[in-house]
Structure 1
Amino acid sequence: MAIDFTLTSYQRRLQRIAREFASEILAPLVRAADEDDDPQRAFQAVKGAYIESYKLGFATGFIPKKYGGGGISNLDLQIVVEEICAVDPGFATILLVNGLALMPLVWFGSEDQKQKWLPQATSDPRGEYLAGWTVSEAAGNPGGTANFDGAAPYPAGIGLTATHDRKNGEYVLNGRKFWPVNAGGWDLGGADVNVCIVRTDPQAAGSRGLTAIIVPRGTAGISYERPISKLGHRLCQNNSVVFSDCRVPEENAFAIGDGDLVINKAFTWSGPVAAIASVGVARSAYEYALTWAKTHTGGGDQPIISHQVVAYTLAEVAMKVEAGRAFAWKAAHYHDLHNADGHAIGPMAKVFCSEMLFGAVFQAMKVVGVNALDRSLPLERYLREAAVFPLYDAGNLGMQMRKICAVMAHSDFDPRAIARSAATPFAKTAPPPEIQAVGKNLKLQA
């Protein structure tokens, strides 16, 4: 039978280990960390749990075995992520941003770069290794990151510039990043590495002038400001990072001129991950409300689940959880077939599940009633976490929907391809001719 949703013995064991970790090691830390007013202190409060997760392989399991990782499939990763996110999705983000940062090296880096940087990530004897995915930038005019691959030259699009000092064999970085996860590290002295997207050609379009570069901890010319205090995902760290004449060896650069492809593929890889993370939070809200409905009477003589409106509401939430899980698994399976090049289905799963989540949690809250607002109960936290998902991981109204539409608009797109798990087209975009002409004139003037 080709289509089978039954977990293998290995997958059941993986699920059990992830569930035990989440419930026994992580869960006791979550409430106090979430309520801490200091976001850096909240981040540090889960360092012990992170070290345990690192030992279990959850922090680098997606890296190929060749470089010391677990070589875990995208589908198997779904099982781990759901269990951890059912307890706290912010903590899971700390783990999974290692993938956003390091998987681009797997896809785009040279063999020398992989051998240098990936084994460091997978063999830290402390279990503290962190990688930062340092792409996002602050809002402004121009500012932000949603139009990173737009046709306009600098200062539109990515604003962190990297000037090539060929004489000294270095890139000199100047600018600022805002929102990257893990970038500041446990002590605000920097992650072990920050994989940054920089503009190496200020006069080229974003689809031509971007590059990825590895900035190791201890590099001079970087300062890490206090983390952002957020509505949800309070256990993970989001920084403002300032680069001032930061010099990085030129051999640390990869995907030169193809940084747009790095961004697109990384956020495509994370699509099914964010999708199943949404399912994990929705599952917890559903299970909490179901237990409440079976044990509370609302002042009547029977548990409130005996009322049709309550039962119907819970049934709707249950259906959404199951539909979301099926979609996330389908997208992950597609990524396993096509080397994470599901530039339509990955974003589809992320958008669908994250948009589903908020409504599912709010329906669960309506079942519980006004008590759902009590912060000693978990539902208000689930709602805060649900608000994060449509906005982060490339944003549903930003990059993710644009990628879906780019695939659909391609002349070779087959609308039935995803149903049969066939490859779908996605290519580097070229700037319009008039923008090319403007860029050419700017270069001549320079």
Structure 2
Amino acid sequence: MTDNPFVETTERSELRAAVAGLAAKYGQDYFRECAREGRKTDELWREAGQLGFIGVNLPEQYGGGGAGMYELAIVMEEIAAAGTGLLMLVVSPAICGNIIARFGTEEQKQKWLPGLAEGTLTMAFGITEPDAGSNSHQITTTARRDGSDWILNGQKVFISGVDQADAVLIVGRTEDAKTGKLKPALFILPTDAPGFTYTLIEMELQNPEKQFQLFLDDVRLPADALVGSEDAALSQLFAGLNPERIMAAASAVGMGRFALDKAVAYISDRTVWKAPIATHQAISHPLAQGKIELEMAKLMMQKAATLYDAGDDWGAAEPANMAKYAAAEACVKIVDQAVHSLGGNGLTSEYGLAPMLSLARIARIAPVSREMILNFVAQTSLGLPKSY
């Protein structure tokens, strides 16, 4: 162990090296081949689970590693840095796993957490709706009581990995019979439940993990499908959204590192007028700037993870959102500059940078747009009037 908070512990350094070794074994070629052939990255996911990487943040008594979001962010960053970013890492162990571990019943923990930790079970997360977008207060998916059961109706959109998930953690709203007020609630919905269907959303992305629209038509769930309290789900929901932002930042940092490494290797080797083009400041300075911005985003991500792991949900919210914003902006700029640094080669299949132009853009849009993060910072950090 070290007393210097800016130097990773031996355990974290060893985890980082081990994950990097696994990711390098597969690499971007494997990831792109899976995307082209319509296959899932099952081999990588399975091996990551067997090595304990997927569930590193989940409690040991349920098969996890007993660590935290700092360690899971290391896993995400290193896998993304090898060109094999796994979107379901953001969803299954980070959002769903954390929520169930903190708010689930003992039966729910026993049923789901060991599989989520091993990677033998995966869970998608259903919050976004066609007419609600980022405004979770306007969710219209409803859950009503029918005896001891729940009946769910509604739609979700841009839900990742449903075709490879065993269940979806659905964000709905219960209707209080006395007041008529709608209250958000979380339900575990098995993907084979009657009345639940989903359709593929065609995307211009080279990614094995797909996006779907969900339809819930009188889906009947037992009473124990409800996670936590139906009256306290808003706080429970945000306990899952902080990890989501941390993992989105880790993914963007990893993608940025991948593109930066590609660019540095190329400009160091590419010679024009008897000198490597890296000697030209017009080429080197934008990449140096990208490196600085990426490292600053990473520090904020680590701050957010440290606060979250200490149990400070509110304290983690500001750095988690800031980290996601900063990492996304740095990643997009680095990918664009990397492509430009390679010239025509930046758009070839050989160098693998062109597909990242669209993948990196996701970081600015999802899971929350940069504009909504700016709204959050303006309102909560600066104390400015709410603008929406």
- Please indicate, yes or no, whether the TM-score normalized by the shorter chain is above 0.5: yes
Letter in 2 for 1:178: V
> Any idea what the Cα deviations from partners look like across 1:95-136, whole Å, max 9, x if unmatched?
23112122112222233433343234336xxx5311111111
Whether 1:287 aligns to 2:261 is yes
> Residue in 2 aligned with 1:10?
11
- Secondary structure, counterpart of 2:201 in structure 1: coil
Whether 1:147 aligns to 2:135 is yes
- Secondary structure, counterpart of 1:305 in structure 2: helix
> Residue in 2 aligned with 1:349?
323
The structure with the largest alpha-carbon Rg is 1
CA distance in 2 between counterparts of 1:267 and 1:110 reads 20
Kept in 2: contact 1:59–1:96 (CA 8 A): no
How does 1:17-56 map onto structure 2 within 5 Å?
17-36=18-37, 41-42=38-39, 44=40, 46-56=41-51
Kept in 1: contact 2:70–2:309 (CA 8 A): yes
Q: CA deviation at 1:144?
A: 3.0
> Residue in 2 aligned with 1:179?
158
> Residue in 2 aligned with 1:130?
122
**RMSD across aligned C-alpha pairs, in angstroms?**
2.7
> Residue in 1 aligned with 2:175?
201
Q: 2:224 aligns with which of 251, 263, 276?
A: 251
> Residue in 2 aligned with 1:103?
98
Whether 1:301 aligns to 2:274 is yes
Q: TM-score, normalised by structure 2?
A: 0.89
Q: CA deviation at 1:278?
A: 1.1
> Residue in 2 aligned with 1:114?
109
Kept in 2: contact 1:279–1:324 (CA 8 A): yes
Q: CA, structure 1 residues 121+279, in 2 after alignment: closer, same or farther (shift >3 Å)?
A: closer
> Residue in 2 aligned with 1:323?
296
CA distance in 2 between counterparts of 1:204 and 1:232 reads 47
Kept in 1: contact 2:57–2:71 (CA 8 A): no
Q: CA deviation at 1:170?
A: 0.7
Letter in 2 for 1:159: T
> Residue in 2 aligned with 1:442?
none
Q: TM-score, normalised by structure 1?
A: 0.78
Letter in 2 for 1:218: D
CA distance in 2 between counterparts of 1:233 and 1:257 reads 40
Q: CA, structure 1 residues 410+107, in 2 after alignment: closer, same or farther (shift >3 Å)?
A: farther
Gaps of 5+ in 2: none
Q: Percent identity?
A: 24
Q: CA deviation at 1:92?
A: 1.9
More helix by share: 2
Q: Which moved more, 1:103-112 or 1:234-243?
A: 103-112
CA distance in 2 between counterparts of 1:147 and 1:333 reads 27
- Secondary structure, counterpart of 1:92 in structure 2: coil
Letter in 1 for 2:381: M
Whether 1:388 aligns to 2:362 is yes
More strand by share: 2
Q: CA, structure 1 residues 121+305, in 2 after alignment: closer, same or farther (shift >3 Å)?
A: closer
Gaps of 5+ in 1: 150-156, 186-190, 412-446
CA distance in 1 between counterparts of 2:76 and 2:128 reads 23
Q: CA deviation at 1:256?
A: 0.6
How does 1:414-429 map onto structure 2 within 5 Å?
none
Q: CA deviation at 1:182?
A: 2.3
Kept in 2: contact 1:320–1:360 (CA 8 A): no
Q: CA deviation at 1:405?
A: 4.2
CA distance in 2 between counterparts of 1:78 and 1:294 reads 30
Letter in 2 for 1:145: G
Kept in 2: contact 1:132–1:182 (CA 8 A): yes
Q: CA, structure 1 residues 54+120, in 2 after alignment: closer, same or farther (shift >3 Å)?
A: closer
Kept in 2: contact 1:278–1:357 (CA 8 A): yes
Q: 1:67 aligns with which of 62, 65, 69?
A: 62
Q: CA deviation at 1:406?
A: 4.7
> Any idea what the Cα deviations from partners look like across 1:320-363, whole Å, max 9, x if unmatched?
22222222222212222234441211111111111221112212
Kept in 1: contact 2:256–2:294 (CA 8 A): yes
CA distance in 2 between counterparts of 1:206 and 1:48 reads 48
Kept in 2: contact 1:265–1:343 (CA 8 A): no
